[in-house]
Each structure stands twice: as C-alpha cells, then as structure tokens.
C-alpha cells in the first residue's frame, strides 16, 4: 500500500508543486492520475520511490516512511518508468540495458539471463537483443524503457505518460503490458493526458489540478462529470459529450465510449422499430 | 548543479546589470590577472572580500553564494591535491606547502566569484552583442551564447537522467573511488547523446528560420558605453596598476 498523507512539496526554486495531497493506493489497483500540465502529477509519483521527499507530510510505502530509506531500496518495490526513454539508455546492447537494474539489485547471473530473455520476448524486442538501444524506433524505445523496469517485477509499476507520441499499435502493446501486470495481482499507476486510453482501461481516476487532488473515484463517475473535468482543464470523452448534447433522459451521462452508448441506444431503437440486427 | 545556477543570468534592476558587458569584462580581466600574478593568500583574500560590495549592489548575493557553495567540492579537492604534492615533494607538511595550497584554493574561489558575478549580471544577448563589437564572427558569438543559454537546460536534463537511473537501482553514493567513476557512465552517456541530439535539432530549427540568409546582420539594440561604464573601467585599471605598484609580485 502506498499512503500519501497531507503532502506538500516545494522545489528548491520556490515553486510549490503539491499542496496537501492525500492518496492511498492499495495493492492490485489500477490508478490513472490525470490533470493539466504542471498539476503536480509527476512530482507526486516521484515521491512514491523516494526521488523526492515531502517538504511536509509523509509518504509511506508498505509501512516504510520514504524518508527513512534509500531510493535504491524503494525502487526495488516501486518501479518508475520515465517519460523520455532517451534519458536512460547508455548500454551498447538492448539486453545489457534491460539487465542493468537486475545487476544493481544483485540478481544472480543465471536469473538475469532468464529474466532478460523472458521480458524481451514479452515486449517483442527479442530480435533486437544484440542491437544498440539508440538504433530502435520511438515505439521500441518506449517498450525497452518499460522492459528495463518490468524485468525486476516491482510490486508497484508507475508509468509516466506511457502513450505520449505512440501510435495505435504501440498503445495496444502498452495496454497488453499493463493488463498482464495487473493479472499477477500487482499494482499499476499511470500518469497520463490520454483520455482515450483511460476510457478504454477504466481504472480508478485521480484528478489533479494546481497541486491538489480534485477528485478520486471510478472512471465512469469522474470522466463524465463536466464540472470536474472543466476544473481540471480536460475535455469530456466524445461519447459523454454526445450524451450531454442529446439531453435525452433515457440516455445517461455516465456513458464513456461507443460500447456504453450502443448498450443504451440499442433498446431505444429496437423499441421504435428502427433497429435491424 | 548549484555551480550551473551561479552562472545563469538573473534579471534584477541594479547598476551592475546596467553596465556595458565590455566594462565588466575589463574588470573580470583585471581580477583574473591579479589572481594569477599573486600567490600571497592575504592579497587573494583581500581581492575576494572586495567582491562582496559589488555583489551586494548587484542584488545577486543569494545566487552568488550558491555558486560558491556549489564549488566547495572542487575547492576542497584543489586544496587536498596541492597539500599532498607539497607533502610528497618536501617530505613533510611545511608552512610553505600549506600557504601554497591555501593560495591555489583562494585563487580558484576568487575566479569562480568573479566569473559568477559577470554571468549573473550580463544577459546572453548583451554578451553576444559585446562579442560582435569585438569583431568576433557572428557564428562564433552565437555558438557561445547558445552554449551559455543551454547550461541550465542541460543541468535539468542531468537531474532527470539521475532520477531515471536511480529508479533503476543505481546508487551513486556507494562504492570506492573507481566504482564511483564507473557509476557516472549511466549518467554521462545519455547526457552526451541528448546534447548532440539537441544541437542537431537546434541547427535544423535555425535553418528553417533562415539562419544565415543575410550576410550582414544589424541589431535593433546597439551597445553604447555610458559614463558609468568608463568610470567602472578606469577604476578597474587603477586597481590593477595600484596593486602592482604598491606590492610588486
């Protein structure tokens, strides 16, 4: 469990990025943190593995206060994948890049080899194992960055903007990784602007704005609330927007995507005899 | 990272900021010459103390002190290396060895302080204009100011890279000397690669905005030496000659 209690954070330059954040993330949950640029999303997740320590308040990961332990120890539990893959590659080959964290955490060499192979296969990068990380395409780089963290199977996987600049096929791949991670009973936290991706994933949604948490709840409740979404400078999902515009009492506004819409509209059309299946 | 912060321009209204970069450059040159010519810790200390009122007038004391604090590690290193070499050469700790080490360290701190004051109070644009006035080709002026301009960005990037590698279990604080040097590779390699990428991106962006389309550039703002600039320059030169006359090295 990650417990964030009344956390304030002020950067050395005087900017206060977090102003009294309270948040509890339980094991096995899938959480999306959303909000405008500069809302404090990345600052918040950097507290999860101790890269930043709260100016005021506490962050407790599985019973351990982040102030009383090292980043390396927390990183073993909370795997943080950064936005820009170019900020981490340095090895000559893809497999060395993936093995880096395992070696830092002192895994035995045969285990390193086994895990590297397994994760590269899962990420569809096995054929590049001897290539340079810098020769990969944008999407492959992103997957390699995720692989370099997933490989040590942290209890909590935190992805900062995983879908930014990715095409549809890459997004499907990333979604697959998230699903298989959740299947093992582990926790996934994503920081994102990608409304489509979140609508599809249906996680618990935490809405942030100007260093505070505006709302926290099911995707259906949060993403369809026009007032909340407006406060967080986010647009409503297209289908929700349509439901609002239809203004029909039989069409609820908690609709998020085309499947929700279909479910509601189908009986209405059938009733009028317009529907042909 | 603090060292970089101390070399970054701060926009505050002050008489020092208003001085022409050329007159400030004369001051920097005078103090650089003096700090190299003299090896007496006392004189170096006096020159150092003389900076303080100027920094105060320039209203950049906090940033200036930060850049000095940021260079503590190097200062300690210089002191230790000098003390060690004097120990090895003279076969023991001597007063002379101690004085040389102190002088070397003070010299470093003095230069750091002088340059920090210059960069804290001079906009990159003014610097570029001043270099152009000195008939340095514009390409070189631009490269220089672009480099200065990117220092804080690169410092930020270094921080991101460190965060990313720490998240992969890299412990920079642990291990022996060789081990620690080896551990800087995961930081330095991405930093260099990003810097190359950045310069290529910059070159492309500049070319798409027609950089170099006109042979002879003109400027909207022209640098002009005012009375204060001459006063400051003359005072600097008086400082140089007076010190050299009163106490020849």
Give per-residue pLDDT as tens, B21-69: 999 999 999 999 999 998 888 999 999 999 999 999 988 888 898 888 8
The pLDDT score that the predictor gives to residue B15 is: 87
Which residues, listed in sequence order, are joined to residue A187 by a DSSP beta bridge? A156
Beta carbons within 8 Å of A269's beta carbon, 6+ residues apart: A275
Nearest to A80 by CA among B160, B186, B164, B172: B164
Report the half-sphere exposure of A120 (CA within 13 A, side-chain side): 21
**Predicted structure pTM score:** 0.80
Q: Say if the Cβ atoms of B161 and A88 lie within 8 Å.
A: yes
Closest CA to B198 of B129, B146, B244: B146
Compare all CA atoms of chain B with the CA of A151 and give the residue at the minimum distance. Answer: B168
**Mean of all residue pLDDT scores within chain B:** 87
CB contact under 8 A, A104 and B169: yes
Q: Find the chain A residues whose C-beta atoms sit closer than 8 A to any C-beta of B.
A: 46, 49, 51, 70-72, 75-76, 79-80, 82, 84, 86-90, 100-101, 104-105, 134, 148-149, 152
**Selection from A139, A184, A179, A187 nearest residue A162 by Cα:** A139
Q: What is the pLDDT of residues B210-221, one digit of tens each?
A: 888 887 778 888
CA atoms within 13 A on the CB side of B40: 10
pLDDT, position B221: 81
DSSP tag of A209: E
B169, B171, B186 ranked by CB distance to A90: nearest: B186
Which chain A positions have a beta carbon within 8 Å of B179's beta carbon?
none
Interchain pair A82, B163: CB under 8 A:
yes
What digits encode the pLDDT tens for the residues A192-248?
989 999 999 999 999 999 999 999 999 999 999 999 999 888 899 999 999 999 888
The pLDDT of B117-133, averaged and rounded, is: 87
In terms of CA atoms, which chain A residue is nearest residue B2? A12
pLDDT at A148: 95
Count of beta carbons in the 10 Å neighbourhood of residue A176: 13
- Please check whether residue B201 touches A, CB under 8 A: no
Nearest to A104 among B163, B168, B185 (CB): B168
Question: According to the model, what pLDDT value does residue B4 have?
Answer: 63
Cβ <8 Å between A87 and B160 = yes
Q: List the structure tokens of B59.
A: 């209203």
User: B171 and A72: CB-CB below 8 Å?
Assistant: yes
Q: Find tokens 């909340």 and name the residue.
A: A228
Show Cβ contacts of residue B32 under 8 Å, excluding neighbours closer than 6 positions.
B111, B114
CA distance B105 to chain A (A): 28
* Residue A41: C-alpha distances to residues A86, A87, A120, A157, A209 (Å): 21, 19, 29, 15, 9
Residue A276 has pLDDT above 80, yes or no: no
Least reliable range by pLDDT among A103-112, A128-137, A205-214, B5-14: B5-14
More confident residue, B179 or B103: B103
Mutation target among B70, B152, B163, B168 for the A interface, most CBs of A within 10 A: B168
Given a cut of 70, whether residue A277 has pLDDT beyond it is no
pLDDT reported for residue B6: 66
**Number of CB pairs < 8 Å for A and B?**
64
Beta strands in chain A (DSSP E): 2-10, 16-25, 30-35, 56-61, 64-65, 78-81, 156-160, 187-191, 204-209, 212-218
Half-sphere exposure in the Cβ direction for B68 (13 Å, CA): 19
**Residue B146 confidence (pLDDT):** 85
Angle between helices A238-246 and A258-272 (to 10 degrees): 30
A46–B163 C-beta distance less than 8 A: yes
User: What is the per-residue pLDDT across A25-44, written as a single tens digit (0 to 9) for each?
Assistant: 999 999 999 999 989 999 99
Among the partner-chain residues B160, B168, B197, the one whose CB lies closest to the CB of A100 is B168
For residue B181, the model assigns a pLDDT of 83
Separation in Å, CA of B240 to nearest CA in chain A: 38
Looking at chain A, the whole-number percentage of residues with pLDDT higher than 70 is: 100
Chain A residue with CA closest to B185: the answer is A90
State how far residue B58 is from chain A, nearest Cα, in angstroms: 20
In chain A, what residues touch B1 (CB-CB under 8 Å)?
Answer: none
Mean pLDDT computed over A177-188: 94
- The total number of residues shown for chain B amounts to 249
Determine the length of chain A: 277
> Could you tell me how far CA B191 lies from the centroid of its own chain?
21
Q: What residues of B are in contact with residue A89 (Cβ under 8 Å)?
A: 189-190, 193
pLDDT at B182 over 80: yes
Output the pLDDT for position B230: 93
Tell me the shortest Cα–Cα distance from A97 to chain B, in angstroms: 10
Are the Cβ atoms of A90 and B190 closer than 8 angstroms? yes
Give contacts of A46 with chain B, Cβ < 8 Å: 163
> Contacts of residue B2 in chain A, CB cutoff 8 Å?
none
Q: Which residues of B touch A71 (CB under 8 A)?
A: 166-167
Determine the pLDDT at residue A9.
96
pLDDT tier at A18, thresholds 50, 70, 90: very high
Query: Quick one: pLDDT at residue B176?
Result: 78
| Section B141-150 average pLDDT | 84
| B152 touching chain A per CB within 8 A | no
Say whether A51 and B167 touch across the interface (CB within 8 A): yes
Which pLDDT tens digit goes with each residue over A63-110? 999 999 999 999 999 999 999 999 999 999 999 999 999 999 999 999
The DSSP code sequence of A9-74 is EE-TTS-EEEEEEEEEE-TT-EEEEEESTTSSHHHHHHHHTTSS--SEEEEEETTEEGGGS-HHHH
Instruction: Count H helices and E strands in chain B, helices first.
Output: 12, 0
What number is the average pLDDT over the span A140-154? 94
In whole angstroms, what is the distance from residue B60 CA to residue B119 CA? 11
CB contact under 8 A, A75 and B160: no
Contact between A203 and A31 under an 8 Å Cβ cutoff? The reply is yes
Judge: A90–B164 Cβ closer than 8 Å, yes or no: no
Average pLDDT over residues B174-181: 80
Is A71 within 8 Å of B190 when comparing Cβ atoms? Answer: no
- Between the alpha carbon of residue A139 and those of residues A23, A192, B31, the distances in Å are 32, 17, 53
- Chain A closest-CA separation from residue B119 CA (Å): 19
Higher local confidence (pLDDT), B152 or A15: A15
Asked if the Cβ–Cβ distance from A148 to B168 is below 8 Å, we say: yes
- How distant is the Cα of B3 from the closest Cα of chain A, in angstroms? 14
Distance from CA of A5 to the nearest CA of B (A): 22
């Amino acid at each position: 469990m990650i417990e964030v209690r009344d956390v304030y954070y002020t950067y050395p330059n005087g900017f206060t990025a977090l102003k009294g954040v309270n948040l509890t993330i339980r094991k096995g949950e899938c959480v999306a943190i959303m909000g405008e640029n500069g809302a404090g999303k990345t600052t918040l997740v950097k507290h999860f593995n101790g890269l930043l320590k709260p100016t005021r308040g506490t962050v407790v990961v599985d019973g351990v206060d982040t102030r009383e332990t090292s980043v390396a120890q927390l990183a073993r539990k909370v795997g943080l994948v950064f936005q820009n893959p170019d900020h981490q590659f340095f090895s000559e080959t893809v497999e060395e890049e993936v093995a880096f964290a395992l070696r830092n955490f002192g895994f035995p060499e045969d285990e390193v080899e086994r895990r590297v192979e397994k994760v590269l296969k899962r990420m569809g990068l096995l054929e590049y194992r001897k290539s340079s990380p810098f020769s990969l395409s944008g999407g492959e780089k992103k997957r390699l960055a995720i692989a370099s963290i997933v490989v040590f199977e942290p209890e909590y996987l935190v992805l900062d903007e995983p879908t930014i600049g990715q095409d549809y096929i890459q997004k499907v791949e990333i979604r697959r990784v998230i699903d298989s991670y959740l299947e093992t009973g582990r926790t996934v936290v994503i920081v994102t602007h990608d409304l489509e991706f979140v609508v599809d994933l249906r996680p618990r949604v935490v809405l942030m704005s100007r260093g505070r948490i505006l709302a926290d709840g099911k995707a259906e409740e949060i993403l369809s609330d026009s007032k909340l979404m407006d406060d967080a400078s986010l647009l409503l999902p297209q289908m929700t927007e349509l439901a609002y515009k239809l203004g029909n009492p039989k069409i609820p506004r908690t609709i998020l995507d085309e499947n929700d819409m279909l479910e509601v509209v189908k009986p209405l059309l059938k009733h009028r005899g317009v529907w042909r299946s | 990272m603090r060292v970089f912060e101390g070399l970054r321009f701060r926009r505050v209204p002050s008489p020092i900021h208003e001085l022409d970069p050329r007159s400030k450059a004369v001051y920097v040159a005078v103090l650089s010459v003096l700090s190299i010519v003299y090896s007496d810790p006392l004189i170096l200390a006096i020159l150092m103390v003389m900076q303080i009122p100027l920094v105060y007038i320039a209203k950049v004391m906090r940033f200036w002190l930060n850049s000095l604090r940021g260079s503590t590690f190097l200062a300690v290193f210089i002191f230790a290396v000098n003390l060690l070499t004097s120990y090895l050469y003279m076969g023991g700790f001597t007063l002379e060895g101690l004085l040389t080490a102190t002088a070397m360290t003070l010299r470093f701190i003095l230069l750091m302080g002088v340059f920090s004051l210059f960069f804290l109070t001079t906009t990159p644009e003014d610097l570029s204009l001043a270099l152009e006035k000195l008939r340095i080709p514009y390409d070189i002026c631009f490269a220089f100011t672009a480099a200065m301009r990117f220092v804080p960005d690169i410092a930020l990037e270094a921080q991101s890279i460190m965060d990313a590698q720490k998240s992969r279990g890299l412990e920079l604080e642990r291990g022996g000397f060789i081990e620690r040097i080896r551990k800087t590779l995961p930081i330095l390699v991405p930093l260099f690669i990003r810097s190359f990428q950045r310069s290529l991106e910059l070159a492309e962006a500049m070319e798409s905005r027609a950089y170099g389309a006109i042979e002879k550039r003109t400027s909207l703002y022209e640098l002009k030496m005012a009375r204060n600039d001459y006063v400051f320059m003359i005072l600097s030169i008086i400082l140089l000659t007076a010190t050299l006359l009163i106490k020849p090295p």
